[in-house]
Chain A
């Protein structure tokens, strides 16, 4: 299995631009999680989906952030407009079922907003 795939691995953009991060979960997994990791705030859960439906988006910092999961094999996290404080590593993780099962993390997207 290829594992969780994220693209791009690195993104550098200017403040005000739209940024789209992509994630392909492991085939057969029905839960998907988006996290943000920074030195200051550590690892934060932004949103998670179960069977393509957003279950909890309470971690999404503000309306500039949005996430979609149009099908079981693809999800996007969009930031519009981006700001320098959005600079972080964004991780996508998938799980074969919610609850006890472990989450499998992708390699992350390092976002730098200048």
Chain B
């Protein structure tokens, strides 16, 4: 069975500093990987996704994530964070086997400090 682990429940970081949010998964088949962001009192929004091809994927607001098959990881990074990046970030995996279900990690709360 597939699973997703986000080791860090909270990550405080100062504004303009770099950040990495870690995500590891387990699956016996090939997968699709996603990062979603949830701002307070809102639903989840897709940040970026890996389906196939280049292992480095980017979002429009400066985040990037790299799929590492050997380490079964999909860590999210941003070289310089803003106050507005304060939110909860969820990693999700979907097996490429027709099950159509997403498994979400427990989330990482990113707090950007002034």
Contact = CB atoms under 8 A, between A and B. Distances in A.
A102 B43 contact: no
B43 A107 contact: yes
A42 B106 contact: yes
B25 interface: no
A93 B102 CA distance: 11
A31 B100 CA distance: 9
Interface residues of B, number: 24
B102 A103 contact: yes
B59 interface: no
B50 to A, nearest CB: 10
Given A42-B106, A100-B51, A48 B100 contact: yes
A104 B44 CA distance: 8
Given A42-B107, A100-B32, A102-B34, A107 B42 contact: yes
Interface string A29-60: 00101000000001101001010000110000
Contacts of A107: 41-43
Q: Is the interface of A mostly helix, strand, loop or mixed?
A: strand
Contacts of B51: 100
Q: How large is the interface on A (under 10, 10 to 19, 20 to 34, 35 or more residues)?
A: 20 to 34
Given A91-B43, A107-B42, A48 B94 contact: no
B27 interface: no
A99 interface: yes
Interface of B: 32, 34, 36, 41-46, 49, 51, 90, 94, 96, 98-107
14 contacts: A31-B100, A42-B104, A43-B44, A43-B90, A48-B101, A50-B100, A56-B101, A99-B96, A100-B32, A102-B49, A103-B46, A103-B102, A105-B36, A105-B43
Interface of A: 4, 31, 33, 42-43, 45, 48, 50, 55-56, 91, 93, 98-100, 102-108
What are the 6 closest A-B residue pairs judged by CB atoms, nearest first? A105-B43, A98-B100, A102-B46, A43-B104, A105-B44, A42-B106
Given A4-B43, A103-B102, A106-B43, 7 more contacts: A42-B104, A42-B106, A42-B107, A91-B43, A93-B43, A100-B94, A102-B46
